[in-house]
Amino acid sequence: MSSKSQELISTLLDAEGKAEKIVAQSRENRVRKLKDARTAAEQELDIFKQKEEQKFQQESAQMAGQGNDSRDLDHRTAQELKNVEADFNSNKKKTVDYAIKNVLDINLKLSSVKAEMLKSGRAG
């Protein structure tokens, strides 16, 4: 019986060794799968980061383009203001001369209609 017991113990020890190997292999597989999953997640994250960075760069370029529009508008406004000032300066003397002529050069001669009205006492 002792040889049968020894045989059973040996079989049990072999089974225990195999079980330990299976458990160890399962742990290794689990660790490997976790590493693979982490690597895949990092790759997806890198792709996502690249897409978001590209999107950000495009939006930044678009915003910078709008800033150029604003600068162009400021430049055009300044140019138009210079044009208005130039027109003012070139027409200032003509305008003042015209106003003075019309204020100071009064026609003192009465038209015939106004003269008749004054004579008849119907002055308006």
124 residues of the chain, pLDDT tens digit each: 678 888 999 999 999 999 999 999 999 999 999 999 999 999 999 999 999 999 999 988 887 766 667 778 888 999 999 999 999 888 888 888 888 888 777 777 878 888 888 888 776 5
Query: Residue ranges of the domains in the chain?
Result: 2-92
- The secondary structure of residue 121, as a DSSP letter, is T
Q: How much is the pTM? A: 0.42
DSSP character string of 9-78:
HHHHHHHHHHHHHHHHHHHHHHHHHHHHHHHHHHHHHHHHHHHHHHHHHHHHHHHHHHHHHHHHHHHHHH
